[in-house]
Amino acid sequence: MGVPVAASGLVELNELVSVTREKYAQCIDVVDHSETIDGIDVTTRMHHLKFDGNGTPMIESLAECLYLQIIHYCLAARNRPESLTPEDATRLTKEARKLFIHPPATPDDPDQTGEAGEILLYFLIEAVLGAPQVVCKMDLKTNRRDEVKGSDGIHMQWCDDDECVDVYFGEAKLFQDVGSAMTKAIESIDSFYANDMRRHEFKMVTKHFKYSGADVREAVTHLLANGVPNERTRVKHACLIGYNWNEFGSLPKLSAAQLTAEFKRRYQSDAPRLHGLLQKRFDGFGRNELIFELFFLPFPKVQDLRDAFNKALD
């Protein structure tokens, strides 16, 4: 007989989330839709930026929310105090900032790194799915100029209904064109399996587990022994599809509440197009056993998020 679930330490995973739903709700909202994807298990969520009182999409507010998470995102909990003093917070923020590539950028040579998308995906997985990050990949970089290797994040969550742990591998794509973002995300996940990166990522979890709690750490290590998941492990892929949407430029001058309602109406009416594009890409995918959690998030320009996040880092 195996170790009882309640005593395994796995149920404690969900308590390790650092991003709250309240933080998410400060600058992001979601619209309901009824579209589905055939032939593969895909849950899609149509998120969008909120508008401030002047009718401006809250990109800078989102960037500030992301910046305030950089200690938790970048630095393993086992290597920092559980309760941070003001001095600790200042020192660790400085340390975390140094881990970002944050290249010099000009209008003619903008930042094209994936860092803003990666931390945004972390933010969404924790706040929306409730799955804590379990490996700080930024903390493992030996050269700040390097991009993060493998998936764009590793998160885990205990599923009480199915008595198993869901392991989320992240994939963040910010592109001007939504179809290109979808294509690149699916290509990256296909390459993830073609190059047997899953085994490598599992080994990273057991070797570099972010937290120090012995019960949880031992339970996770047992779960992924030798880089091979056992029967209580389910793999999911969490994807962020960020893209430019021209509708931002054609919104009428309205009060904040009316503007939000009009934007939601237009965004919801775009759901069939978005899901049609996604369906075409999954029709030729060939790995129909996989499970996906997919976040749509349109921007006036995705470059605006990169620029706003870099400004926050400054």
List pLDDT tens digits, range 216-231.
Answer: 888 888 888 766 777 8
Task: Provide DSSP, the chain.
Answer: ----GGGSSGGGGGGG--S-HHHHHTTEEEE------SSSEEEEEEEEE-B-TTS-B-HHHHHHHHHTTHHHHHS-GGGS-SS--HHHHHHHHHHHHTTS-----BTTB----SHHHHHHHHHHIIIII---B---GGGG-SSTTSPPPSSS-EEEEEETTTTEEEEEEEEEEEESSHHHHHHHHHHHHHHHHHTTHHHHHHHHHHHH-S---HHHHHHHHHHTGGG---TTEEEEEEEEEEEE-GGGGG-----HHHHHHHHHHHHHHTHHHHHHHHHHHHHTT--TT-EEEEEEEEES-HHHHHHHHHHHH-
Q: Is the dihedral of CA 217, 221, 223, 228 positive or negative?
A: positive
Lowest mean pLDDT among 22-31, 36-45, 140-149: 140-149
State percent of the chain over pLDDT 70: 91
- pLDDT in the model for residue 224: 81
Rounded distance, CA 172 to CA 46, Å?
15
Mean pLDDT of the chain: 90
Rounded distance, CA 168 to CA 121, Å?
11
The alpha carbon torsion through 222, 226, 231, 236 (nearest 10 deg) reads 100
Contact by Cβ (8 Å): 198, 226: no
- pLDDT in the model for residue 147: 64
Q: Residue 14: how many CB atoms within 10 A of its CB? A: 15
Residue 74 CA from chain centroid, whole number: 14
Residue partners of 265: CB distance under 8 A and separation at least 6: none
Rounded distance, CA 131 to CA 18, Å?
10
Contact by Cβ (8 Å): 13, 216: yes
Name the nearest CA neighbour of 313 among 138, 78, 174.
138
Name the nearest CA neighbour of 102 among 110, 133, 217.
110
Question: Does residue 7 register a pLDDT over 50?
Answer: no
pLDDT tens, position by position, 271-286: 999 999 999 999 989 8
- pLDDT in the model for residue 116: 94
Lowest mean pLDDT among 49-58, 194-203, 211-220: 211-220
Give me the sheet containing 164-175, strands edge to edge.
28-31, 41-49, 291-299, 233-244, 164-175, 154-159
Confidence band of 40 (pLDDT split at 50, 70, 90)? very high
In this structure, what token pair is assigned to residue 194? 């073609």
State percent of the chain over pLDDT 90: 70
Does residue 214 or residue 44 have the better pLDDT?
A: 44
Task: Provide DSSP, 90-124.
Answer: HHHHHHHHTTS-----BTTB----SHHHHHHHHHH
pLDDT, mean of residues 94-118: 77
pLDDT, mean of residues 152-170: 93
Confidence band of 80 (pLDDT split at 50, 70, 90)? confident
Question: Does residue 55 register a pLDDT over 60?
Answer: yes
Does residue 2 or residue 304 have the better pLDDT?
A: 304
Contact by Cβ (8 Å): 24, 127: yes
Question: Does residue 122 register a pLDDT over 90?
Answer: yes
Confidence band of 265 (pLDDT split at 50, 70, 90)? very high
Residue type at position 190: D
pLDDT, mean of residues 145-169: 87
Question: Does residue 3 register a pLDDT over 80?
Answer: no
Does residue 295 or residue 226 have the better pLDDT?
A: 295
Output the pTM of the full model.
0.93
pLDDT tens, position by position, 229-257: 778 889 999 999 999 999 999 999 999 89
- pLDDT in the model for residue 5: 44
Contact by Cβ (8 Å): 305, 313: no
